[in-house]
Amino acid sequence: MSMRSSRVWMMALAVLALSAVTVSAQEVTLRLHQLLPAAAPIPKNFLAPWAEKVMKESNGRIKIELYPSMQLGGTPPQLYDQVKDGVVDLIWSLPGYTAGRFPGTEAFEMPFIAGTSAEQNSQAAWEYFQKHLQGEFKDVKMIAVHTHGPGLIHAKNNGVRKLEDMKGLKVRGPTRAVTRLIESLGATSVGMPVPAVPESLNKGVIDAAVVPWEVTTPLRIAELVNTHTTFAGNRSLYVAFFMFAMNKAKYDGLPADLKKVIDDNAGMAASKWAGKVMDEGDIPGLEAAKKRNNSIVALDATETARWKKAADGVVQAWITEMKGKGLDGKAMIDDTRTLIAKYAGAPQ
């Protein structure tokens, strides 16, 4: 090799080495968009700390900007398409806000199937996602899936003290599965994203809402209702299924070491963390209701059994609907029950 050729070869190696350094030192900014106020438990105690952890573990090469309360525009049902299409890089939302688009998630939202601990439910949810939902969410990189704690009924006036009290009430529901449950119990369901609940209660658009304790604090729901109805046993009237997802192309474009940072903060541990935050968020919601001397109505086992019987048809109708879509709804329900029992114990 001539001296000139040797010199050219050395220069080429230097350029390659510099390129490798540039790639390994690549920095990326991710925009995280979601619907809740920044002070709500999930944004404050899960999404913000998660972002800090990722930024720290990437040595500052991943920067995450937080946009609560739909600050980047659009409506909550549009969040999934925003992240799928690359309008934003990360979103936290409910698959159920886009009715019927992610039918497999609805197994977790069926009445009296999920447990009463979001942390336990969320571990079951991640296992369920891995088995049943990867096809439904193939267009995104899933960071975590989780549920909230027990959904309960927050109502004006004398509230709901027995099944018959549901008749004639206009009740907000978060998802298609839950609005069907509300209808099966004799009430009129009104679907809406959770940020719309306070104004709807205040203006009389709805008489009641089903939400967990956790979200009642930032939305000040205890100030707008008089009663809160809970149920006996270790299964919830319902829970909602949540997703924390990343744009797939953005993830795929990361260098291997930054992909690892994301992967290390995704999956079972992240799902469990989000569920734990939901459980912890329930505590101040309950305390706020007690402080206002609102009535906490605890239905006994006999009355709860009446509600379960009234809601049985919702599960069977869903299984039949899934069969029509070519999906094995019974297997999804059976697996959900098995996974919930794995983490929460047998139904009581």
Q: Are 333 and 211 contained in the same domain?
A: yes
- Domain limit, last residue, from 257, 281, 305: 281
Looking at residue 99, its pLDDT comes to: 87
Q: Are 228 and 114 contained in the same domain?
A: no
Within a domain: 41: yes
Distance CA 318, CA 315 (A): 5
Q: Are 69 and 135 contained in the same domain?
A: yes
Are residues 41 and 282 in contact, defined by beta-carbon separation less than 8 angstroms? no
Looking at residue 25, its pLDDT comes to: 67
Q: Are 196 and 84 contained in the same domain?
A: no
Residues 6 or more apart in contact with residue 10 via CB below 8 angstroms = none
Tell me the per-residue pLDDT of 276-289, one tens digit each, with 9 for 90 and over.
999 999 999 999 99
Distance CA 190, CA 321 (A): 21
Q: Are 230 and 246 contained in the same domain?
A: no
Are residues 305 and 235 in contact, defined by beta-carbon separation less than 8 angstroms? no
Within a domain: 169: yes
**Amino acid (one-letter) located at 137:** F
**Amino acid (one-letter) located at 72:** L
Looking at residue 8, its pLDDT comes to: 45
Q: Are 139 and 69 contained in the same domain?
A: yes
Within a domain: 17: no
Domain count within the chain: 2
Q: Are 216 and 265 contained in the same domain?
A: no
Nearest to 149 by CA among 58, 266, 26, 274: 274
Q: Are 317 and 263 contained in the same domain?
A: no
Q: Are 311 and 178 contained in the same domain?
A: yes
Token look-up 């698959």 returns 95
Tell me the per-residue pLDDT of 179-220, one tens digit each, with 9 for 90 and over.
999 999 999 999 999 999 999 999 999 999 999 999 999 999
Q: Domain residues for 200?
A: 152-238+290-344
Indicate yes or no: pTM above 0.85: yes
Q: Are 123 and 254 contained in the same domain?
A: yes
Q: Are 185 and 269 contained in the same domain?
A: no
SS (H, E, C) the chain: CCHHHHHHHHHHHHHHHHHHHHHHCCCEEEEEEECCCCCCHHHHHHHHHHHHHHHHHCCCCEEEEEECCCCCCCCHHHHHHHHHCCCCCEEEECHHHCCCCCHHHHHHHCCCCCECCHHHHHHHHHHHHHHHHCCCCCCEEEEEEEECCCCEEEECCCCCCCHHHHCCCEEEECCHHHHHHHHHCCCEEEECCHHHHHHHHHCCCCCEEEECHHHHHHHCHHHCCCEEEECCCCECCCCCEEEEEEEHHHHHCCCHHHHHHHHHCCCHHHHHHHHHHHHHHHHHHHHHHHHCCCEEEECCHHHHHHHHHHHHHHHHHHHHHHHHCCCCHHHHHHHHHHHHHHHHCCCC
Looking at residue 9, its pLDDT comes to: 52
Looking at residue 165, its pLDDT comes to: 98
Distance CA 265, CA 2 (A): 51
Looking at residue 7, its pLDDT comes to: 56
Q: Are 134 and 35 contained in the same domain?
A: yes
Looking at residue 18, its pLDDT comes to: 45
Looking at residue 173, its pLDDT comes to: 93
Cα 54 from chain centroid (whole Å):
20
Chunked into runs of 10 residues, the chain (348 residues) has average pLDDT values of 51 47 72 96 98 98 98 98 98 94 97 98 98 98 98 97 97 94 97 94 97 95 98 97 98 98 98 98 97 98 98 97 97 98 97
Within a domain: 43: yes
Within a domain: 6: no
Within a domain: 15: no
Within a domain: 3: no
What tokens does 27 get?
């920095």
